[in-house]
Structure 1
Amino acid sequence: MAESADRGWVASKLLAQGEEPDPRFTLANERTFLAWIRTALAFLAGGIALEAFAADVFADPYRTIISVLTIGVGLLISLGAAARWLHVERSLRLRRPLPMPLIIPVLSFASGVAMAVVILLVVFS
């Protein structure tokens, strides 16, 4: 039963090409995906915590902006993690070089913007 479900997924357009890679590489790719999802969940929790508990630190509209930015970074990380998993899995199946991780510069830029906003709000409030 599980074997037929796997064939259905592999036969789909997402992973139809190439051959089944070594399971160790597929599982390593999955662990990396899950690590990025943990990071996304941390940003989500941080954004919720900012909105719920930072009323004494930031004024209401600023707190909401910071919270939404933080949650937005978590969303970007989660979408990037899914795209990265798929691209790596395709590369493994086609025995091509692994793609460059676009998620890292996006995360760095988004985190930098969020920190700059927080610094500006702290300095000017």
Structure 2
Amino acid sequence: MMPEISDDKQLSKIKNRRVHFANERTFLAWIRTSIGIMAFGFVVEKFGLFVKQVSYFLGKSGHLPAGEAAPPLPPVPGYSGILGIFLVGLGALMALLAFIRYKKVEKQIDEDSYRPSAILDALLTISVLGVATFLVIYLIHSF
């Protein structure tokens, strides 16, 4: 009887190992997504700064007449800095939530009591929809 229990336990460990690897792959996918969102936020913020600097140096018309000095224009207020900071923060929050989810699922796998949780998925979906809505409104007003 002892060898059967040992074999069953060993098969269970092998099976759980595969599930743990799947959990780890999912965690790493969430981390890649959060890094991508943070990088996008950084690019949005820096591109907004670049546009402000170009508009400052070229003037509002886009070119300067020969021999005339343009009066310096104040920087145009924009939302790219706010959006960039928000995206970087969202990416960092997503990484933290992904780690919490990873550890929770790891414990549930070991206890054989896995229950899916839609909280992180819902937060991501709502965040992406919010950012997409903001970008659409921003692009419509920039025409």
Q: TM-score range by the shorter chain?
A: 0.7 to 0.9
Does structure 2 conserve the Cα–Cα contact (< 8 Å) formed by 1:41 and 1:74? yes
Match of 1:56 among 30, 51, 54: 51
Alignment of 1:23 with 2:17, yes or no, is yes
Gaps of 5+ in 1: 1-19
Aligned residue pairs total 106
Structure 1: distance between partners of 2:39 and 2:77: 18
Query: What is the Cα-based RMSD across aligned positions, in Å?
Result: 2.2
Percent of counterpart pairs with the same letter?
29
Moved over 4 A (4+): none
Alignment of 1:78 with 2:73, yes or no, is no
Does structure 1 conserve the Cα–Cα contact (< 8 Å) formed by 2:16 and 2:110? no
Structure 2: distance between partners of 1:84 and 1:60: 38
Structure 1: distance between partners of 2:77 and 2:44: 11
Q: TM-score, normalised by structure 1?
A: 0.74
Based on CA coordinates, which of the two structures has the bigger radius of gyration? Answer: 2
Structure 1: distance between partners of 2:134 and 2:17: 43
Q: TM-score, normalised by structure 2?
A: 0.65
Residue type at the aligned position of 2:134: V
